[in-house]
Amino acid sequence: MVTASPAAGTRHPIALSANNAIWHPSPNFGERRDGLTPTMVVLHYTAMASSAAALDRLCDPAYEVSAHYLIGRNGSIWHMVDEAKRAWHAGAGRWNGQQDINSRSIGIELTNTGAEPFGDLQMSALEGLLRGILQRWAIRPVDVIGHSDMAPDRKIDPGPRFDWARLAYQGLAIGPLGTRESGTEVALDETLNEIGYSVDTDTSANLAAFRARFCPWRRGPESQVDHDLAAAVADRFRIDRGLAQA
């Protein structure tokens, strides 16, 4: 999520990148640490009213924030940081036991205030971009996550309006294999930790992030429904990580 700031002058695109995105370079990047290469994709929304405002913020050295890509509401794609470099989009957090997510990921921002649906043009552009990224870096759909997945105690994007099911249907992300009766002998936080949510984060924050992604209609206290769905999601994640047979 990008924090809003007063709009600055809009920069002009200077070229197209190899994937036909508008090359709009940001100075806010560095080398990936410890020889790491991208093994996941992190999706964000900008929480800003326009792509122009988001570009200004993501390319302003004063704010030390960036992403590899920004996708506008009309499907336009801006490429700001080379995929091989470390963009500054994820911040502190953990996923599946791994830290320094910036060094391990490619960050994609979507122009959205957080209170609106993600339109078809924008989602179609995201799908095309994701297909290329996953192929180039041999990233599995199970490793396409939201900002809220890796930092549930401080981030909520891409939020409950984001269409994860659409990505999962096309094999660009992971959804549950139905539901199953989990019983109550396993604590919910253990199941959420198995999916990838941090052991260092309170269960309530992990549950809120889990619901926003997999069952955004759910509200209220933890229930057996949460246990059963989390168990099904954990099954799917386990299979796609190669830890179990389908």
**Which helix or strand (DSSP H or E) is residue 225 part of?**
helix 224-240
Predicted local distance difference test score (pLDDT) of residue 46: 98
Supply the range of the domain harboring residue 93: 1-174
Can you give the pTM of this predicted structure? 0.91
Predicted local distance difference test score (pLDDT) of residue 20: 80
Residue 78 near residue 69 (C-beta atoms within 8 A)? yes
Whether 142 and 182 map to the same domain: the answer is: no
Mean pLDDT of the chain: 90
Whether 214 and 226 map to the same domain: the answer is: yes
The CATH number linked to 63 is 3.40.80.10
* Count: domains in the chain: 2
Whether 153 and 206 map to the same domain: the answer is: no
93 φ/ψ angles, rounded to the nearest 5 degrees:
165, 180
**pLDDT range class, residue 8, cuts 50, 70, 90:** very low
Predicted local distance difference test score (pLDDT) of residue 9: 35
Active site residue 109: yes
Whether 154 and 226 map to the same domain: the answer is: no
Whether 139 and 241 map to the same domain: the answer is: no
Whether 129 and 117 map to the same domain: the answer is: yes
Whether 112 and 228 map to the same domain: the answer is: no
Query: 91: left (phi > 0), else alpha (psi -120 to 50), else beta?
Result: left
Question: How does pLDDT run across 40-95, given as a tens digit for each residue?
Answer: 999 999 999 999 999 999 999 999 999 999 999 999 999 999 999 999 999 999 99
Predicted local distance difference test score (pLDDT) of residue 6: 34
Whether 154 and 184 map to the same domain: the answer is: no
Q: Residue 26: is it exposed, middle or buried by C-beta count within 10 angstroms (0-12/13-18/19+)?
A: buried
pLDDT at residue 2 tops 70: no
**Rounded CA separation 210/29 (Å):** 30
Whether 68 and 156 map to the same domain: the answer is: yes
**Rounded CA separation 41/48 (Å):** 21
Predicted local distance difference test score (pLDDT) of residue 176: 79
Predicted local distance difference test score (pLDDT) of residue 18: 58
**pLDDT range class, residue 1, cuts 50, 70, 90:** low
Whether 9 and 119 map to the same domain: the answer is: yes
Q: Provide the β-strand partners of residue 44.
A: 109
Which member of 83, 109, 185, 222 is catalytic?
A: 109
Question: How does pLDDT run across 142-201, given as a tens digit for each residue?
Answer: 999 999 999 999 999 999 999 999 999 999 999 876 666 666 668 999 999 999 999 999
Whether 53 and 128 map to the same domain: the answer is: yes
- Boundary residue ending a domain (174, 207, 230): 174
Residue 198 near residue 94 (C-beta atoms within 8 A)? yes
Whether 34 and 119 map to the same domain: the answer is: yes
- Boundary residue ending a domain (154, 174, 194): 174
- Boundary residue ending a domain (158, 174, 190): 174
Helix axes 203-214, 188-195, angle to 10 degrees: 60
Who has greater pLDDT, 9 or 139? Answer: 139
Q: Provide the β-strand partners of residue 69.
A: 79, 108
